[in-house]
Amino acid sequence: MKQLRIGLIGYGFMGRTHSNAYRKVNNFFDLDHQCVLQAVCARDEAKVKAFALKWGYKSVETDWRKMIARPDIDAIDICTPNNSHAEIAIAAAKAGKMILCEKPLSMDGPEGRKMVAAVEKAKVPNIVWYNYRRVPAVSLAKQLIDEGKLGRVFHYRAKFLQDWTISPELPQGGAGLWRLDAKAAGSGVTGDLLAHCIDTAIWLNGSIERVNGMTETFIKERTHTLTGKVQKVAIDDACAFLARFKNGSLATFESTRYARGHKALYTFEINGEHASIAWDLHDLHRLQYFDHRDESKLRGWRSIHVSDSDHPYMKNWWVPGLQIGYEHSFIHQVADFVKGLETGKPAGPTFRDALETQNVCDAVLKSAKTQKWENVAKVK
C-alpha cells in the first residue's frame, strides 16, 4: 500500500477534525493509499508535543516552513487562521506538496487568485475543506438535482445562524477569538459562515452572477486580546444578501452571530418546478423532499433518513437506519481526495472552485459598501 504522509499545520478545532479523519479513513474506505500522521506543526512546543501524543503523530515542528521543507511529507494540511492560508499554500506548492487547505480559501479574491496560480503552476493536487458538501444528505440533494428531479429551479435560500458574540465584554483577536479580528479573519460571518452556504449553493445550483448585500457590526469596539487596547471592530457581525444565479433562479442568504438560541443553524432550501429540497445541519442525517408529481392524496414533505446503503457514502458505515454525523463529512473528504489521486479525477472543491466562492464573498462585501448590486468576478 502506498503512503500519504500528512503534515498538519494548526491543531485547533479543525486540526482535530482532520486528524480524526486521517486516522479513520482507511478503516472505512478501500483506498490504495494509507494516510500516515507524519508530523504536526504549531508554535507552542509543549502543546504540539502533547497533541502529537494524543493523536498519534510521528513528529512535531514549531515552524511551518521547516515542515514544508521536509522530504518525508507528501501533503500539507492548512488548519490555521485565514490570514496564513495564502503564504503557507504558496510555499507548499513551490515545494511540490499536495495541499488540503481550510476554508475560506483566502482573505479575498486577489489573494485567492495567487493561490490558484501557485498550485496550478506546480501541478500539485489541491482541495479546500468545504466539508458540508460531503454530509450524505447534502450529497443526496446534489444527486437528486443532477438527476433533474427538481426541473427548472426558481429559488435558493440559505442561512447560517449563531449566537456566541452577543456580549460586548467578549474581546477580539488572539487564540480562539481571531475570527473577530479582521486582520486575521479577512471578514466576519461572510467569510466564516456564508462561505459555506455559498460553496454548497454553487455546487448544487451553479454560478452566482450578481449580489446585493448588507452587513452590520453591532458591537463597534472590543478590547483586543493581543494589544490589551479597546479597538474598532472591523468584521461584519451579520450579513444578508440577495443573489441571482446564472440559471435564472433567485436566492436569499443570511448569516449572523447574534441570533440568540442558534448555535450552528445552517439550513438551505431549493424550490424547483416539480420538487423542493430542504436540509438543516441540526438534523444533518435527514433530507426533506417534496415532489408535486406524487399522487395528490399522498403528496407531502418526506423526511428521508439518509442512512441506507444506496445513499451517498453510507455503504461504508454501519447498517441501514444507523446514522452518522458531523465528523464523517471530513472523513469523506479525505476519502474523496485520495480517490481523486488514484483515479486522476480530482475531488473538489479545488482551489479554483473555492475562488468562485471567494469572489462571491468579495462582491457581497463590496455591495454592502456601495449599497448597489455588484457583479461577481468570473474565475478565468
Ligand X SMILES: NC(=O)c1ccc[n+]([C@@H]2O[C@H](COP(=O)([O-])OP(=O)(O)OC[C@H]3O[C@@H](n4cnc5c(N)ncnc54)[C@H](O)[C@@H]3O)[C@@H](O)[C@H]2O)c1
- Please give the residue ranges that form the binding site for ligand X (CB under 6 A): 9-15, 41-43, 64, 79-82, 84, 102-103, 129, 131, 176, 192
| 3-class state of residue 48 by DSSP | helix
Residues in the chain: 380
Dihedral of the alpha carbons of 215, 218, 221, 225, in degrees to the nearest 10? -90
Residue 130 or residue 156: which is nearer to ligand X going by CB?
130
Residue 176 or residue 248: which is nearer to ligand X going by CB?
176
- In the complex, minimum distance from the CB of residue 197 to ligand X, in angstroms, rounded to a whole number: 12
* Residues in a beta bridge with 239: 215, 255
- In the complex, minimum distance from the CB of residue 129 to ligand X, in angstroms, rounded to a whole number: 4
Peptide bond into 81 cis (omega under 30): no
Query: Exposed/middle/buried for 27, CB within 10 Å: 0-12, 13-18, 19+?
Result: exposed
- In the complex, minimum distance from the CB of residue 39 to ligand X, in angstroms, rounded to a whole number: 12
- In the complex, minimum distance from the CB of residue 19 to ligand X, in angstroms, rounded to a whole number: 11
- In the complex, minimum distance from the CB of residue 133 to ligand X, in angstroms, rounded to a whole number: 10
| Closest residue to bound ligand X by CB | 12
Residue 131 or residue 359: which is nearer to ligand X going by CB?
131
- In the complex, minimum distance from the CB of residue 269 to ligand X, in angstroms, rounded to a whole number: 20
Q: How far apart are CA 265 and CA 247, in angstroms?
A: 27
253 within 8 A of 147, measured Cβ to Cβ: no
Residue 10 or residue 125: which is nearer to ligand X going by CB?
10
Residue 49 or residue 155: which is nearer to ligand X going by CB?
49
Range list of H helices, the chain: 13-28, 45-55, 64-69, 85-94, 109-122, 136-146, 182-185, 189, 195-205, 326-343, 351-370
Residue 140 or residue 281: which is nearer to ligand X going by CB?
281
Q: Among all chains, which residue has been given the C-alpha cell 457583479?
A: 375
- In the complex, minimum distance from the CB of residue 326 to ligand X, in angstroms, rounded to a whole number: 9
The DSSP-derived string for 271-306 is EESSEEEEEEGGGTTEEEEEETTS-GGG-S-EEEE-
Residue 47 or residue 369: which is nearer to ligand X going by CB?
47
- Residues 6 or more apart in contact with residue 227 via CB below 8 angstroms: 173
